[in-house]
Amino acid sequence: MSNKEVEKVHLLIIGSGPAGYTAAIYAARANMKPVLYQGIQPGGQLTITTEVENYPGYPDGIQGPEMMINFEKQAVRMGADIRYGMATKVDFSTQPYRVEIDEENWIEADAVIISTGASAKWLGIESEQRLNGFGVSACAVCDGFFFRGKEVAIVGAGDTAAEEALYLSKLCTHVHMIVRRDAMRASKVMQDRVLNTPNITVYWNSETEEILGEHKVEGVRIKNTKENTTQDVAIGGFFVAIGHKPNSDIFKGFIDMDETGYIQTIPGTSKTNLEGVFAAGDVQDKNYRQAVTAAGSGCMAALDAERYLSTKA
């Protein structure tokens, strides 16, 4: 730890998706003076989605980024201290708990709510890494614009892939959707939309063998694993939409997690194995992963933290 003066806060919230902001709203209203660090992507995953149609209270739907701005405004209005910054290390071996921000400042907190969410997964092939940012992206909504009027490919078969394929189909001339099995995981309604969109072609039982191009994406080599054949398709953009990984690495060794890194909470609560440390949202939820369930768990974490801090006081 550096010799700089360590700031002391009552309740520290790490992460700024629906879980973190909801925890901040509740905690601020309960006078816990929460300090929230937003992380690298303020607003979290909803800032890279389009229309949210299933969050109650918005009968006409709402854009994800707009919804997150509203969450933040509400937290600020209640008195939460919202800061831009990234938790880079923690020391939960003694109380008060210590959290390092941006690799320089340490903060001490009586209680901590972890709401760091989850991040996109990658295929892990060499060409994907090499061409990342040069036509390879994990966010169609962020980067689709750059491929207007071009052909693109997307890999994945969940709701995210379906949603992004549909989004891209409105911007691009053609979308080649690479699905590794003979079925999609996406909900029926999303599958139907994909299959009924004329400029989306689905490649079943298919893998991405290689993304082609030296300095920018120029094509993709698709392997049909059932027929053991390959074909090259000319594209300008390649999108990866194969799920997410919980952002929990910095808590390893202190907080109990499952084998894939999801933080384990005591069922029916937001409590972790450490008293005074709570978890909410996608970092502890691999089943539901919805904005509304994340927000609900953020509320639980704030209420659990309030009870904990009041018994401690």
Interface residues with ligand NDP (CB under 6 A) are: 54, 123, 155-161, 163, 180-181, 185, 242-244, 289
Query: Is 60 among the catalytic positions?
Result: no
Q: How far is the CB of 279 from ligand NDP (least distance, A)?
A: 18
Exactly one of 110, 143, 282, 304 is catalytic; name it. Answer: 143
Exactly one of 91, 102, 142, 249 is catalytic; name it. Answer: 142
The dihedrals phi and psi of 221, each to the nearest 5 degrees, come to -100, 115
Which parts of the chain are beta strand (E)?
A: 7-14, 35-37, 51-52, 62-63, 81-83, 87-91, 97-101, 105-114, 118-120, 136-137, 151-155, 174-178, 200-203, 206-212, 219-224, 229-234, 237-240, 244-246, 277-279
Which parts of 85-169 are beta strand (E)?
A: 87-91, 97-101, 105-114, 118-120, 136-137, 151-155
Q: In sequence order, what are the beta bridge partners of 82?
A: 36
Structure token pair of residue 72: 């933040």
DSSP state of 262: P
In whole angstroms, give the CA distance from residue 37 to residue 85: 5
The dihedrals phi and psi of 149, each to the nearest 5 degrees, come to 75, 10
288 CB-contact burial (10 Å; exposed 0-12 / middle 13-18 / buried 19+)? exposed
Q: How far is the CB of 105 from ligand NDP (least distance, A)?
A: 33
Query: Is 142 among the catalytic positions?
Result: yes
Amino acid letter, 26: Y
**Best CA proximity match to 97, nearest among 228, 255, 298:** 255
Query: Is 143 among the catalytic positions?
Result: yes
Closer residue to ligand NDP (CB): 65 or 243: 243
| Distances 185 to 10, 157, 163, 312 between C-alpha atoms, Å | 43, 6, 12, 46
The catalytic site residues sit at 139, 142-143
